[in-house]
């Protein structure tokens, strides 16, 4: 069972990817929701704030059919939550009131579910239904075979979520389909989406090895820097925890309040520095592995002797160096190593 922290992390993973897909491929989702109807997207309204506390929608799309303009609200859900029908009803009413256009609300679910999914928000008096707000529901897992066959290439990064047992073959099919995309920016975003969602099902190191040949393309993704920043933050947090523990132990061993405070302060400072250093060193090593394969232990050791600031200078070098020899030469050109204080 997922912990609250795991649930938040999973939500962040899907949220980031689905924002990209909904932004770039609204017309394809519209085709899923209203097949056979010649309706087209003509614009997008971003960061729409609703007049209720703490409610914001990333964007809704303007669509037109037979001369009539509508707002398309795509609501993605990893799995069903009890408040979804009511929230959709409220959103539709507020969009209509604030923006003055009729609203088309569509819900798309990712995770398989045996029980029926609600398709309406109702109010009842006893057993008598008084009001009903209906909306179409799309179960994306029902399209897994079509996505794998190339029918919906824009949805390819979702394939590992939609199949029952994702494996390396699933990733290989995703990569094959994504590399068919001719637009470099969209191809980079789709690859980044695939890697991001893949972290939910596969080890990160395995994913980076698997997509090693595509790492240069990933540099062009619109949110890959955010993903790398998360990895640096994880390293920073580990360093802080380690530093605090070391400082507390040092202070307790001295047996004096002054020693405790000094130990904690030194430990926190050291932990922050170690966290930055570890995060940046991990990023550089990962990039080198994806581009060139195995990284010599001697080179990893040399990187471990550099401060966080000097490692920061090597990030672009790791991405642009033609080979490991050239990268190592750039390391040698840096000023003398500055080992971490003991």
pTM assigned to the model: 0.62
Pair 48, 194 in one domain:
yes
Please write the tens of the pLDDT for every residue from 263-287: 556 655 666 667 777 878 888 888 8
Answer whether residue 160 shows pLDDT above 70: yes
Q: What share of the chain is helix, strand, coil (3-state, %, to 5)?
A: 60, 15, 25
Q: Does 162 reside within a domain?
A: yes
Please write the tens of the pLDDT for every residue from 103-120. Answer: 999 999 999 998 999 999
Residue 252 has what pLDDT?
53
Predicted local confidence at residue 32, as pLDDT = 87
Given a cut of 90, is residue 140 above it in pLDDT?
Answer: yes
Q: Of 199, 218, 237, which one is at a domain's C-terminal end?
A: 218
Phi, psi of 166 (to 5 degrees): -65, 140
Query: In this model, does residue 190 exceed pLDDT 80?
Result: yes
CA neighbor of 331 nearest in space, from 284, 289, 265 = 284
More confident call, 247 vs 215: 215
Per cent of the chain over pLDDT 70 is 76
For residues 122 and 132, give the distance between their C-alpha atoms in angstroms, rounded to a whole number: 4
**Are 189 and 83 part of one and the same domain?**
yes
Partners of 232 in beta bridges: none
Of 231, 225, 205, nearest to 295 by C-alpha is 205
Q: What is the pLDDT of residues 116-135, one digit of tens each?
A: 999 999 999 998 999 999 99
Tell me if 101 is assigned to some domain: yes
What's the mean pLDDT in 211-220? Answer: 75
Q: What is the pLDDT of residue 341?
A: 44
Q: How crowded is residue 153: how many other Cβ atoms within 10 Å of its Cβ?
A: 15
What's the gap between Cα 286 and its chain centre?
18
Task: Find out whether 250 and 210 touch, Cβ atoms under 8 Å.
Answer: no
- Rounded CA-CA distance 327/323 in Å is 6
Per the CB < 8 A criterion, the answer to whether 299 and 324 are in contact is yes
Q: How far apart are CA 146 and CA 149, in angstroms?
A: 5
| pLDDT at res. 3 | 61
Same domain assignment for residues 214 and 250: no
Helix (H, G, I), strand (E, B) or coil at 126: coil
Count Cα atoms within 13 angstroms, Cβ side, for 21: 28
Considering the domain architecture, whether residues 193 and 64 belong to the same structural domain is answered as: yes
State yes or no: pLDDT of 304 exceeds 90. no
Indicate the pLDDT class of residue 89, thresholds 50, 70 and 90: very high
Q: Which domain holds residue 287?
A: 246-333
DSSP assigned state of 182: -
Same-domain check for residues 188 and 258:
no
Q: How many domains, in total, are found in the chain?
A: 2
Q: State whether 251 and 213 are in the same domain.
A: no
Q: Is the pLDDT of residue 246 over 70?
A: no
* CB-CB contact of 308 with 270 (8 Å): no
């Amino acid at each position: 069972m997922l912990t609250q922290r795991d649930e938040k992390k999973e939500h962040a993973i899907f949220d980031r990817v689905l924002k990209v897909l909904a932004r770039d491929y609204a017309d394809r989702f519209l085709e899923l929701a209203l097949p056979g109807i010649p309706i087209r997207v003509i614009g997008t309204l971003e960061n729409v704030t609703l007049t209720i506390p703490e409610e914001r929608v990333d964007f809704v799309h303007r669509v037109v059919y037979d001369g009539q303009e509508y707002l398309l609200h795509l609501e993605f859900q990893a799995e069903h939550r009890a408040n979804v029908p009511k929230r959709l009803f409220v959103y539709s009413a507020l969009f209509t009131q604030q923006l003055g256009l009729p609203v088309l609300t569509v819900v798309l679910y990712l995770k398989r579910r045996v029980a029926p999914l609600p398709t309406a928000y109702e109010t009842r008096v006893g057993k008598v239904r008084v009001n009903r707000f209906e909306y179409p529901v799309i179960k994306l897992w029902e399209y897994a075979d079509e996505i794998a066959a190339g029918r919906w290439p824009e949805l390819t990064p979702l394939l590992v979520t939609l199949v029952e047992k994702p494996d390396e073959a699933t990733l290989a099919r995703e990569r094959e389909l994504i590399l068919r995309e001719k637009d470099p920016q969209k191809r980079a975003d789709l690859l980044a989406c695939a890697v991001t969602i893949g972290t939910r099902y596969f080890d990160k190191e395995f994913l980076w090895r698997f997509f090693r040949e595509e790492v240069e393309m990933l540099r062009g993704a619109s949110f890959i820097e955010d993903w790398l920043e998360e990895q640096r933050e994880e390293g920073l947090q580990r360093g802080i925890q380690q530093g605090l523990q070391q400082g507390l132990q040092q202070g307790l061993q001295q047996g004096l309040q002054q020693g405790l405070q000094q130990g904690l302060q030194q430990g926190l400072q050291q932990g922050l520095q170690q966290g930055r250093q570890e995060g940046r060193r991990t990023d550089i090593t990962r990039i080198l592995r994806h581009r060139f394969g195995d990284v010599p232990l001697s080179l990893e050791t040399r990187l471990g002797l550099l401060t966080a600031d000097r490692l920061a200078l090597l990030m672009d070098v790791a991405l642009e160096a033609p080979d490991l020899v050239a990268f190592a030469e750039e390391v040698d050109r840096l000023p003398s190593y500055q080992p971490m204080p003991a």
